[in-house]
Structure 1
Amino acid sequence: MRREKTLFSAKSIIPLVLVIVAGVFLFWNFYTPEVYRNDLVLSMTANISYSNTIPIIEAGDSPLPANMSVITYNIPSDFEAQVVLLSGISEPYSFHTDKFGNKYKKLIFQNPELGINYYELWAIVEVLPISFEIPPTSVGNVNEVLSEYKESSEMVQSDSSSIILLAEEITQEAETQFEEAVAINHWVYTNINYDSAYINVTNDALWTYENRVGVCTEYAHLTSALMRARGIPARIAYGAAPYDYPDGWLPHTWVEAYFNGTWYPFDPTWDLSGRLDATHIKIASLPDQSYVFINVTLSGKNIDLGSLSQSKLQVEIIDSKEESPKLDWEILRKLA
């Protein structure tokens, strides 16, 4: 009996299928638009905690700690696109509000001890992305904006001639003030080198301009200074974000710029302009990083405070929704 020849045999189809699958995998990974995985997060629920130790040391005979309090911003509050579902603090506490509208906490240690005193603050937060369909054009009326967000300061030297000239150069092709803010944000992202050696150091805007290096704090200070130099009110947002999502959580600082009654987010570390992904957990909005502090008050007999350390940040993602990266069909068409 004569057998008809077929175009594909069973033995040839399997390798062909494997080649096609491998090709799709490579295309998906190397020919999709460049995008941070954070940008694909549609919503996130996370448990964020800050903990620290306060050492009380002897400074004479018969030492006796009496009272101790700790004032800190380190716990999230409700903000736009962020809701606190549950929170807790290890010590008795009271809530207070600063002049910038941020809630801070005063922890009361009823029985402080010689040696190490430990405390922890935690919150479960749900975060959504922030985006706007139509960007604004101008800042509008800024009379109601606090002067700390408009004027030059020790950390944000917007009146420096170097900062003013640079801001003019960066924005010369912008047609609106919002486009100026976008251009400034992109310039800082492109021209300042990220160096993790500066994570526990806070440098001002002028230093950052002159040295062209830093981390999120330096990025935010320089961006704020350049924006203020162009008449755009700007402040920092302090919180936490992952540098290798879903891991790599660190304290993080970005910028908020004022346009027509609304504060728009700008993150020069990742070149996000007028939008924010759902992995930014916000703690407070402040004029600059120097306003982020932990204030400890101690009373008693023959005692002193030991050296305070950086608060330990921990974030556990409880739930998240992510979209898949989209194929770049224009590249696919050119390759075909």
Structure 2
Amino acid sequence: MLDLNISINSTFITTANVSLTIDGNLTETKSINLSEGINYDIFTILAKSGLHNVSVYVVPLNCDINISNNDYNTTYNASTPILLIERYLNNLTNQTANISFNGTQTGIMDSPRDNLTLTGGNYSKSLKGLGVKDIGTGKVVMTYKGTININVFSSGGELSIYTPSAASSERQSRNVTVRLKDNTNITTGDCTALSQCTFMYDSHNTETIKLDFNNLVSGTHALEYEVNITTDINNFNYTIQSLSKGSNSQYLQNDSLTRWTQEIQSMAQNLTPNCSSDFEKVGKISRWVYENITYDIILAGQPYNASWVFTNKKGVCAHYTNLLISMCRSIGIPARGVYGDVYNSSDYLGGHAWAEVFMDNKWYTVDPTFNEIGFIDSGHVSEGYDLSTLESSFFSAEGYGLSFNNYDVFYPDLKVLNTANVTLISDIINITPKWRVTNVLGNTLTYEIIGIFNNSREQGYIIGNAYLWPVGSSTLLSDYTHQVYVGQNESNTSWRFNITLPDLNSGSNYTLPITISTDPTPLTSLNFNAYTAATYEIYNARVPATIQLETTTLNVTVRNIGAIDGNTDVKFYVNNEEQQTKNLFVQKASQTNTTSFSWTPTTQGNYTIKILAGNDVFIRKVTVGASTCADNTNVQ
């Protein structure tokens, strides 16, 4: 055991996060109340023999306080042959006697999760959602493995190894198999069937896998372990069915990373004054975090809290997540952190963090880094939960009656199985476009584009951003995006933009290919054309569903949504037989004109009325009943 004594000279009263890093690995972060003057604290560690680099970093939680010289670096020389990093075992339950630190040689060794293999691909957020994932169902195997060489002083030595597991939830199931080797003795099997394998849970229901090498005889042991966690993820079963408020006081509490300030609460309140549900509030908060925080990979692993991220407007996934959690809790919405991995069908992207919010007495996933809300893709593999999220450990070991000679821990490997059969998410949001020219001034046109959105699954609720693009371009046609809330009923949004075209007054016609896209996953896009030519739509048709057996006048109003005046034929059909045609002049830029048709049905019954104007059609079923004035009425 080794005590590292630290002293902090403070000129003000505050609370600060103090982080200890050994050889570049984050060891521990604690919250310390600072008074004016010299403050003392102790980090107790077990250290591997040799010379090691130590850094202590101090971050005040009061965002109005700026300090200098808050990073201190030194070295220490340790003689005990044990390495301790991280606080991974603090909250584990079901602990047995051999976990206590008995005897002369005990301790924990750990390797932090900071150098994942196979990292790459597009991990940063993307305006159009590209580079995130479109995976609806997936099967993934995560492998944790390593070798450890130890000396056991006398028979009865024990060694326990801890690795992460995968969470079990509505969207995710898991199966765990292990392989253990002690010199030449090999044990394999399903974790649930082996006495040496135990599932353990902390207060947040995070699952950890404990592997035991018990009753080790005296001498040298070459130990190996391998844990394979097969995870099946299916987001097609994952829907938000109602928008009722959830109650979970445990996750309204904050830790040092998510403690909200008045500025954070004010922003959350200003974003959500007219929201009808917590679901809509979370959507607005997630969008704000997504659009206002800059992704900066240099900050990975840094224990900056929500206040720091809110002030500096940068961070990585953990910082995005902790800020969203802080904002949600500040307005009474329970939230928690999730850590795990993200992948797509071709590139493993690496460790990731996101959040869950509590509604309908259930947890629902929100990823502010990718702005996925209500339907998160199956490229997210959940491992555990906490009040906040930062970096997670992927290996811990503790021993009794032994010493560690050396160890080699392989960084976690993640393999996507059956990638050819991975189900990609089909379009969740269906899009119907409408467009019109609303003004013409010289060669400059003002267009209004309307997107009509429907939930293709016909169940649950989803939030998405909607964008307007020229086909084949990466430049938005409008300088803002819309957030659409799609449930069982359709949702509409609209954009307006100006465009200047050459020779419009000469009568030239232009075609504007346009894309409406939605984000989050999957990226749903619809291409269509808007025109400058005279284009007609039936703006209103006064055709009653029931009429009498007499002459009826049917009024039809036609709108020209193009940029040029023009004439169009308006045709009137009864049961697909043309009755009349009238030519109608309609001015440009959404002006209207009205014409009428007279129709005298000869018999009672059901008829189909159809009216055509340009390429637009109006159809209505009409029932013809008896005349209101009978011929045999007698008046006396």
TM-score, length basis structure 1? 0.73
Provide Cα deviations, 1:73-112, integer angstroms capped at 9, x if missing partner: x12243112122x421233321223222333221113459
Instruction: Report deviation, 1:324.
Output: 6.6
Contact persistence 1:241–1:251 (CA under 8 A): yes
Q: Which runs of 5+ in 2 are unaligned?
A: 1-126, 181-195, 431-514, 517-524, 533-636
CA distance 1:255–1:306, shift in 2 (3 Å) = farther
User: Mean Cα displacement is larger for which, 62-71 or 194-203?
Assistant: 62-71
**SS in structure 1 at match of 2:530:** helix
**1:97 paired residue number:** 201
Contact persistence 1:254–1:268 (CA under 8 A): yes
**SS in structure 2 at match of 1:157:** coil
**2:423 paired residue number:** 321
**1:132 paired residue number:** 239
Amino acid at match of 1:264: Y
**SS in structure 2 at match of 1:220:** helix
Provide Cα deviations, 1:134-193, integer angstroms capped at 9, x if missing partner: 551x424x1xx252x1112112113x2232222223323433322111111111111111
> Which of 349, 363, 374 is the equivalent residue of 1:274?
374
Size of the aligned set, in residue pairs, is: 290
Contact persistence 1:38–1:245 (CA under 8 A): no
Instruction: Report deviation, 1:247.
Output: 0.8
Distance 1:169 1:261 in 2: 26
**2:384 paired residue number:** 284
Distance 2:412 2:136 in 1: 27
CA distance 1:82–1:324, shift in 2 (3 Å) = closer
Instruction: Report deviation, 1:206.
Output: 2.0
Q: Are 2:159 and 1:68 equivalent residues in the alignment?
A: yes
Distance 2:131 2:147 in 1: 34
**1:48 paired residue number:** 142
The structure with more helix, counted as a fraction of residues: 1
Contact persistence 1:87–1:123 (CA under 8 A): yes
Amino acid at match of 1:312: P
Contact persistence 2:146–2:224 (CA under 8 A): yes
Q: Are 2:352 and 1:252 equivalent residues in the alignment?
A: yes
Which structure is higher in RCO with an 8 Å CA cutoff and minimum separation 6? 1
Contact persistence 2:286–2:324 (CA under 8 A): yes
Q: Are 2:169 and 1:79 equivalent residues in the alignment?
A: yes
| Fraction of identical pairs, as percent | 21
The structure with more strand, counted as a fraction of residues: 2
> Which of 153, 161, 175 is the equivalent residue of 2:255?
153
**How is 1:101-250 mapped onto 2 (pairs within 5 angstroms)?**
101-110=205-214, 111=216, 118-129=224-235, 131-132=238-239, 134-136=241-243, 138-140=244-246, 142=247, 145=248, 147=250, 149-158=251-260, 160-242=261-343, 245-250=345-350
User: Mean Cα displacement is larger for which, 287-296 or 160-169?
Assistant: 287-296
Distance 2:149 2:388 in 1: 28
Distance 2:149 2:222 in 1: 4
Distance 1:198 1:190 in 2: 18
Distance 1:305 1:257 in 2: 45
**SS in structure 2 at match of 1:334:** strand
Distance 2:313 2:233 in 1: 32
Q: Are 2:410 and 1:300 equivalent residues in the alignment?
A: no
Q: CA RMSD in A?
A: 3.5
> Which of 265, 271, 274 is the equivalent residue of 2:365?
265
Distance 1:90 1:288 in 2: 32
Q: Which runs of 5+ in 1 are unaligned?
A: 1-32
**SS in structure 1 at match of 2:418:** strand
Instruction: Report deviation, 1:298.
Output: 1.9
Contact persistence 2:328–2:334 (CA under 8 A): yes
CA distance 1:165–1:55, shift in 2 (3 Å) = farther
Distance 1:202 1:273 in 2: 25
Distance 2:289 2:408 in 1: 32
Instruction: Report deviation, 1:323.
Output: 5.0
**SS in structure 2 at match of 1:333:** strand
CA distance 1:229–1:70, shift in 2 (3 Å) = same
Instruction: Report deviation, 1:310.
Output: 8.6
CA distance 1:132–1:76, shift in 2 (3 Å) = same
Larger Rg: 2
Distance 1:155 1:333 in 2: 49
**2:65 paired residue number:** none
Contact persistence 1:128–1:278 (CA under 8 A): yes
Distance 2:407 2:266 in 1: 42
Distance 1:308 1:161 in 2: 47
Distance 1:254 1:321 in 2: 23
Distance 1:106 1:281 in 2: 20
**1:334 paired residue number:** 530
**2:617 paired residue number:** none
Instruction: Report deviation, 1:40.
Output: 3.0
TM-score, length basis structure 2? 0.41
Provide Cα deviations, 1:183-221, integer angstroms capped at 9, x if missing partner: 111111111111222334443222222222221111111
